Amino acid sequence: MRKRINKIIPGIVALLLIVFTSVSVDAQNAVALKLNEILVYNDSNAVDDFGEHSAWIEIFNSSYNTVNIGGCYLTDDLNNPTKYWIPTGDPVTKIPARNYIVFWADNHPTRGIFHLNFDLSDGRTIAIFDANGKTLIDKIEIPSGQKPDITFGRPSNDSDEWVFLEKSTPGANNDYTKKKSAGESFVEMDPYGIGMTMIAMFVVFSALAILFVIYKNMGRYFIRKATPKVKPVADNSKQVHEDAEMSGEVNAAIAMALHLYQSEMHDYENTVLTIQKVSRTYSPWSSKIYTLRKIPNNR
C-alpha cells in the first residue's frame, strides 16, 4: 500500500504543476501586448459591428501563448491612465498567440467591450496600462499630419519603428509582402546540399547512439528484475530464493521428507541377494509316492 502511495504522489505533483502552469500561461501576461496599428480618420476604411466608420486601435499579442487583456486600461491621456477599463470575465478579451484585437475609438462605450469612451480626434497619445492602473505597457505618440484612411503602424510585428502604411490591415499582420520559406532560405545558404547531408548523418547516428544506450540499459534493467535475489541462511550452508514462491503441497512434502529422514523411517532396499541351499534334494510335497494310494489287498 505504501509503495502505491509513493507512486501516486509524483503523479499528483506533476498534475498540479501542469494545472498551475496552464493557469499562469493563460493568466494576465499583459507585458506581451503591443500597440500595432491605428487609424485616426476613418472615412471609407473598415466598419465596426454597427456599420459605422470610426477610428480604431489594433493591439498585437507578441507572445506565444494566449493573453487576456481583460482588466487592463486604454487611454489617450497619460494623466488619466485608467480612462477606459477593459471588462473581465469575457472570453472575447483573450488574444491568441501572435494574434490581434481591434478597439473602436468612437466614444460610445455602451456599444460593447471594444468601443472606447474616447476618440482620436483630439488625442495625441495612446497608451496601455496594466491592471494595477500604474504600470505602462506600451504607448505611441500620434504625430501630426494624419491622413484619412491611411493607417499609422509598425511595418512588421517585431519592428519598433512606426510609419504610414500603404495598406491598412485591422486584425491582421501589417507585413503582407511575400516571404521566403525556410527551404528557400536554406537552399541559398547551402546550394550543394553539403550542410544538409552532414546534418542528416549527424541526426541519424545520434539517434542510433541514443537508441543503443536506451536498449542496453533497458536490457540490463529487465535482466536484473528477472534474476531472483538470494541471501545466505544463518549457517551459510544453503541459499534460499527471496522471490521464489512455493505452494503448500511442496512445503508439506519437504517437511515430511525431513521428518522421515530424521526418524529413520525411510525405505531402504538392500541390494544383496542371499540364496540358501535346501537340505533335501526334492520337495516332499511334490513327491509322487505321497500321492499314490496303496492297492487294496483282496486276498
CA 193 to chain centroid, in Å, comes to: 35
Residue 279: predicted pLDDT: 60
Question: What is the length of the chain?
Answer: 299
Strand partners, 141: 125
- Number of folded domains in the chain? 2
Are 32 and 171 contained in the same domain? yes
Q: What is the pLDDT of residue 158?
A: 87
Same domain flag for 145 and 184: no
204 lies in the same domain as 118: no
With b for 16 or more beta-carbon neighbours within 10 A and e for fewer, the 139-171 pattern comes to: ebebeeebeeebbbbbeeeeeeebeebeebbbe
Q: Do residues 36 and 160 both lie within one domain?
A: yes
Give the model's pLDDT for residue 241.
Answer: 53
Any domain includes 297:
no
pLDDT the model gives residue 45:
94
Lookup: cell for 13: 505533483
- Strands 33-39, 55-61: pairing is antiparallel
35 and 161 share a domain?
A: yes
pLDDT at 33 (0 to 100): 96
Q: Specify if 96 maps to a domain.
A: yes
Quick check: is 281 in a domain? no
> Could you tell me which of 69, 79, 81, 84 has the C-alpha nearest to residue 36?
69
Q: Which amino acid is at 117?
A: N
74 bridge partner residues: 84, 128
Please list the helix, strand and coil fractions of the chain in percent, rounded to the nearest 5, in that order. 30, 20, 50
Phi, psi of 279 (to 5 degrees): -70, -35
Residues 95 and 234 in one domain: no
Question: Is residue 263 situated within a structural domain?
Answer: no
Q: Which of 129, 160, 179 is the last residue of a domain?
A: 179
Does residue 202 share a domain with residue 175? Answer: no
**Cα distance between residue 207 and residue 258, in whole Å:** 59
The pLDDT assigned to 66 comes to 95
pLDDT for res 269 = 61
Residue identified by cell 509316492 is 289
Q: Are residues 208 and 116 in the same domain?
A: no
Answer yes or no: is 298 within a domain.
no
Calpha distance 134→142 (Å, rounded): 21
Q: Which residues pair with 73 in a beta bridge?
A: 85, 129
Per-residue pLDDT of the chain (299 residues; tens, 9 = 90+): 555 555 566 666 666 666 555 444 444 588 999 999 999 999 999 999 999 999 999 999 999 999 999 999 999 999 999 999 999 999 999 999 999 999 999 999 999 999 999 999 877 899 999 999 999 999 999 998 899 999 999 999 989 999 999 999 999 999 888 777 777 777 888 888 888 889 899 999 999 999 999 988 888 888 887 777 666 555 555 555 544 566 778 888 888 888 777 776 555 666 666 666 656 555 555 555 555 555 666 65
Q: Are residues 36 and 174 in the same domain?
A: yes
Is residue 36 a part of any domain in this protein?
yes
Last residue of a domain, one of 158, 179, 200: 179
What pLDDT is recorded for position 180? 75
195 within some domain: yes
Residue 161 to residue 233: CA distance in whole angstroms: 83
What is the spatial distance between Cα 89 and Cα 67, in angstroms, rounded to a whole number?
13
Q: Which of 101, 84, 83, 79 is nearest to 92 (CA)?
A: 101
Are residues 175 and 185 located together in one domain of the fold?
no
Residue range(s) defining the domain that contains residue 234: 180-243
Query: What pLDDT score does 256 carry?
Result: 84
Q: How do 152-153 and 33-39 pair as beta strands?
A: antiparallel
Q: Are residues 174 and 33 in the same domain?
A: yes
In a domain, 64, yes or no: yes
- The three cell numbers of residue 201 are 548523418
* Backbone angles phi and psi of 274, in degrees to 5: -110, 125
Which of 228, 243, 258 terminates a domain? The answer is 243
Classify residue 130 by burial, with Cβ atoms within 10 Å: 0-12, 13-18, 19+.
Answer: middle
- Pair 125, 231 in one domain: no
Annotate 280-297 with b (16+ C-beta within 10 A) or e (fewer): eeeeeeeeeeeeeeeeee
Sheet holding 163-164, edge to edge: 100-105, 55-61, 33-39, 152-153, 163-164
